[in-house]
């Protein structure tokens, strides 16, 4: 089955932007929080850059890295709850506005750092292959 390149790009852009918006705002309890603009608008800018420069593969790896950070944060919170305070119930991280804000900015930072890192790795690999 043949799928045209523009359609493939549109689908990739939609999937990556959705994944960034959902993962980046995972720590926000209120979907109307102004901080949700960071993963939504910032994610749109990063996705637009990747689509325009042909770096959707690198963006895919960066999105996966961001989701690994979400998973690590979730597991670390569960372990902390079970080990440090086993007799008490720890409130979810979204109930702490400071942690939610730092986490949202941090997750977006993970995405940006991973994206730049994968672009550099791709460029280094292309330069090595050309030699």
pLDDT digits (tens, 9 = 90+) for 37-82: 999 999 999 999 999 999 999 999 999 999 999 999 888 888 887 8
How many angstroms separate the CA atoms of 107 and 92, rounded?
A: 17
Average pLDDT over residues 79-101: 77
Q: Are 16 and 99 in contact (CB under 8 A)?
A: no
Q: Tell me which residue range forms the domain holding 100.
A: 5-130
| Pairwise CA distance, residues 50 & 74, whole Å | 28
Please state, in angstroms and rounded to a whole number, the distance separating the CA atoms of residues 118 and 113: 9
Residue carrying the six token digits 């979907």: 31
CA distance 120 to 9: 22
Mean pLDDT of 100-122: 94
Per-residue pLDDT at 2: 67
Tokens 């990739």: give the residue: 12
3-state secondary structure of 73: helix
Q: Would the pLDDT of 126 be above 80?
A: no
Given a cut of 90, whether residue 97 has pLDDT beyond it is no
Number of domains comprising the chain: 1
Q: What's the pLDDT score for residue 67?
A: 97
- Examine the pLDDT at 32 and tell me if it is beyond 90: no
Compute the mean pLDDT over every residue in the chain, rounded to the nearest whole number.
88
- Measure Cα distances from 112 to 89, 105, 106, 109 in Å: 34, 11, 10, 5
Distance (Å, whole) CA 125 – CA 29: 41
pLDDT at 36: 93
In the structure, what pLDDT confidence band is assigned to residue 130 with cuts at 50, 70 and 90? Answer: low
């Amino acid at each position: 089955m043949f799928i045209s390149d523009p359609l493939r790009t549109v689908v990739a852009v939609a999937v990556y932007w959705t994944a960034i918006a959902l993962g980046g705002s995972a720590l926000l309890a209120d979907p109307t929080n102004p901080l949700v603009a960071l993963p939504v608008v910032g994610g749109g800018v990063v996705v637009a850059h990747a689509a325009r420069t042909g770096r959707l593969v690198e963006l895919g790896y960066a999105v996966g890295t961001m989701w690994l950070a979400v998973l690590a944060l979730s597991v670390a919170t569960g372990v902390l709850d079970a080990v440090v305070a086993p007799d008490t119930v720890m409130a979810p991280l979204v109930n702490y506005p400071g942690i939610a804000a730092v986490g949202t900015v941090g997750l977006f930072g993970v995405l940006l750092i991973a994206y730049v890192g994968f672009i550099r790795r791709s460029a280094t690999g292309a330069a090595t292959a050309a030699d």
